[in-house]
Chain A
Amino acid sequence: MTSYDPTGYDPAGNDPAGYDLAVIGGGPAGMAAAATATRGGLRVALIDAGPGLGGQFWRQPAPNEDATAFGEADAAGYHHDLATFRRLRGEIFRARADARLELFSGHHVWTAACGPGGVRIRAVDKLSEPGRDIERIVSADAVVLAPGAYDRQVPFPGWDLPGVMTAGGLQALLKAGGVAAGPRVAVGGTGPFLLPVAAGLAMAGSHVVGVFEASATTAWTRHAGAALANPGNLAEGAGYAAALARYRVPYRQRSMIVAAHGTEHVESVSVAGLRPDGHVDTASVRTIDVDAVGVGWGFTPSLELPMTLGCEVSDGDDGSLAVVVDADQRSSVAGVYVAGEACGIGGAALAVAEGETAGRTACRDAGLEADPSPAAARTIRRRRRFARAMAVAHPVPPAWQDVLEPSTIVCRCEEVDAEAVDDACRNHGATDARGVKELNRAGMGWCQGRTCGYAVDCLAARAAGIPMTPQPAPRPVAAPLTLGALAADDAGPDH
């Protein structure tokens, strides 16, 4: 193990000493990994893009001393299981106070490389000096990647109007800023996550005109085994259902938001019922006035960093790729552990169990004592089973392709519409997102296809008459930076 001298840290750039373990991601998985690893005796660098800890599930306002600030206490009502958050954060802060851990908040990791000497991580600090990206290199013997996931999206007419957001985006705005996106909100897509989003908005005073869930909860009964093995999930779900009933939020199964209307911002949505085969029941379309919309079709693992480091990925059960890990959270690359949603969508409790396991494995692999935890292993097995049942019960229905118009934007960044994607597939032979991108730039903009990649893969596969298989799309720059910082990137990682 390398020795670590906290005073040897050079804030202008390099960290010559290095750490035993770097953890990228300060959500449930990364917090659990960092806390467990320091407990086991490793010196840890915990790196997260956010201003504080918590990730998506425990997303917090930026720490602020001001008495008028929107602070953690204001957001507490929107949260679940804050006790675990506070326990993990307490451990992390104590380790930092004893120089057993360094916390790099506001640091966006844009690339990493590993070799025999360990892992070298390049980040930009966007917090210390606003407007100036400060480059920072962190090196460590091993790394836990816990980058989480983001909302899976499919296009629909009007989804690019201001006021239309992802379901997770609505939630983030509420938890971190105390802001309900509008006085009248429609929530749509599929999956249990729509419930806390709608409940949170109702609590914040919005009128939620409906939750439009594409699946039917009867799909559940077929997977009751997995559900019943997770009483925690059921209790949480029942809590949200009660909240929705209290606020009289209509919960419409087998339905979806098929269009958003407006000119400068969203003013109304069209919603429709779905037939049992997952296509739109065109006779059922109706229009509802709204000021904001949140749509989510489950989540997609963040794979930029795992793929940059060469971790093997495979097709999950839900049309997204996920990192392949063993029972101890080791990826296919030596010294690279992966935990949380990057290994497949499964919720915060699973992320914590995987993070703990990764932290323990990192200790063991470094020659420290850390017995495997049968409880964490049990949680992982149960929650994974539950997540698989969820994925099967909440597919993205084929209906989304029915509702596209030729002028519907598919790639938001490069403003490529459905007609152009269709042309690339039908007339120029593209069969996946990569092929489409070469023809019309779909997926080549700022977001690097993270928003449209799934949809373009689906559209291309349909045009080619083949089943959709998610395509790995290596995105070397995990968090784009200013040209200045790129220009300064002369030699690249040297091992």
Chain B
Amino acid sequence: MSRLTVDGEPLEFRPGQTVGAALMAAGILSWRRTTHRGAPRGLFCGIGVCFDCLVTVDDVPNQRACLTPAREGMRIRTQEGTGHDQL
């Protein structure tokens, strides 16, 4: 197993998995709030088409969790709105 952090909390994953799969495997279903309604979002299409799964990876906002391979030590941060506010 390898380890990344989500908002500072450690999370174990199996290398080979995407960030989205690592989060889902840990029972985390949402990691973003929408701009207008503040609604929670996570994976939807699973293949990079819908952009629902956006997340901040190592300080780069708006990365698609479903496409980003999880890596040891990666710092994942959940996002609000456009993802640029917290930078």
Chain A residues with a Cβ under 8 A of chain B: 49-51, 56, 61-64, 66, 68-71, 126-127, 130-131, 150-151, 160-166, 168-173, 176-179, 181, 264-265, 412-413, 415, 445-447, 450-451, 479
Could you tell me the distance between the alpha carbons of A445 and B49 in the complex, rounded to whole angstroms? Answer: 12
Residue among B1, B15, B30, B63 having the largest count of chain A Cβ atoms under 10 Å: B15
Q: A169 contacts which of B17, B43, B57 (Cβ < 8 Å)?
A: B43
Q: Is B17 a contact of A172 with CB atoms below 8 Å?
A: no
CB distance from A455 to the nearest CB of B (A): 13
Cross-chain contact of A64 among B15, B44, B67 (Cβ < 8 A): B15
User: In the complex where A51-B69, A173-B24, A177-B25 touch, is A70 in contact with B49 (Cβ < 8 A)?
Assistant: no
Assess the B50–A447 pair: CB atoms within 8 A: yes
Q: How far is the CB of B12 from chain A (nearest CB, A)?
A: 10
Tell me whether A179 and B17 are in contact in the complex, defined as CB-CB below 8 angstroms, given that A49-B67, A264-B40, A415-B36 are known contacts.
yes
> Using Cβ atoms and an 8 Å threshold, which residues of chain B touch A162?
29-30, 40-43
Min CB–CB distance B53 → chain A (angstroms): 10
9 examples of A-B residue contacts, CB within 8 angstroms: A70-B21, A130-B74, A176-B18, A179-B21, A265-B42, A412-B52, A446-B50, A450-B49, A451-B44
The answer to whether B41 and A181 touch across the interface, beta carbons within 8 angstroms, is no
Consensus secondary structure, chain A interface: loop
> B34 — which chain A residues lie within 8 A by C-beta?
415
A151 proximity list for chain B (CB < 8 A): 45
Interface hub of A49, A56, A69, A450 (most chain B Cβ within 10 A): A69
List A contacts of B7 (CB < 8 A). none
Give the CA-CA distance A150 to B57 in the complex, in Å: 25
Excluding A151-B45, A171-B46, A447-B51, 15 further A-B contacts by CB distance (< 8 Å) are A49-B67, A62-B17, A69-B16, A70-B21, A127-B69, A162-B40, A162-B43, A168-B47, A169-B46, A173-B21, A173-B43, A176-B21, A179-B21, A412-B50, A451-B50
Which of chain B's residues 1-42 have a Cβ closer than 8 Å to chain A?
1-2, 14-18, 20-22, 24-25, 29-30, 34-37, 39-42
Check: B66 CB closer than 8 A to any chain A CB: yes
CA distance A69 to B59 in the complex (A): 25
B interface residues with partner A (beta carbon < 8 Å): 1-2, 14-18, 20-22, 24-25, 29-30, 34-37, 39-52, 54, 57-60, 63, 66-69, 71, 74
Whether A126 lies near B67 (C-beta < 8 A) is yes
| Chain A positions within 8 Å of B50 at CB level | 412-413, 446-447, 450-451
The chain A residue sitting closest to B46, CB to CB, is: A169
Per the bound structure, the CA–CA distance linking A172 and B20 in Å amounts to 11
- What CA separation (Å) do A413 and B62 show in the bound complex? 13
Instruction: State whether B47 touches A68 (Cβ < 8 A).
Output: no
Docked complex Cα distance between A493 and B68 (Å):
28
The answer on a CB contact under 8 Å between B49 and A165 is no
User: Is there contact, CB below 8 Å, between A179 and B24?
Assistant: yes
The 5 closest A-B pairs by CB, nearest first: A177-B21, A169-B46, A446-B51, A61-B16, A162-B30
- Chain B residues, Cβ within 8 Å of A264: 29-30, 40
A131 touches B69 (CB 8 A): no
Asked if residues A131 and B60 are in contact (CB atoms below 8 Å), the reply is yes
Residues of chain B lying within 8 A (CB to CB) of residue A70: 14-17, 21
Contact call A62/B18, Cβ cutoff below 8 A: yes
Instruction: For B42, list chain A residues within 8 Å (CB).
Output: 162-163, 265
| A127 CA / B18 CA spacing, docked (Å) | 12
- How far, in whole Å, are A168 and B43 apart by their CA atoms in the complex? 12
B14 touches A172 (CB 8 A): no
User: Are B57 and A179 in touch, CB under 8 angstroms?
Assistant: no
A179's contact among B15, B25, B44, B74, by CB below 8 Å, is which? B25
Q: How far is B44's CA from A451's CA once the two chains are assembled, in angstroms?
A: 10
Q: How far is the CA of A126 from the CA of B42 in the complex (A)?
A: 21
Most chain B beta-carbon neighbours within 10 Å: one of A68, A176, A177, A178: A177
Please name all residues of chain B whose beta carbon is closer than 8 Å to the beta carbon of A127 when the two chains form the complex.
69
Cβ of B22 to closest chain A Cβ, rounded Å: 8
User: B24 to chain A: which residues have CB within 8 Å?
Assistant: 173, 177, 179, 181
Q: Is the CB of B51 within 8 A of A445?
A: yes
Please give the distance in Å from A206's CB to the nearest CB on chain B. Answer: 12
Asked if residues B16 and A160 are in contact (CB atoms below 8 Å), the reply is no
**CB-based nearest A residue for B69:** A62
Cα of A131 to Cα of B20 in the assembled complex, Å: 16
Q: Which residues of B are found within 8 Å of A171, using beta-carbon distances?
A: 46
Chain A residues, Cβ within 8 Å of B1: 68
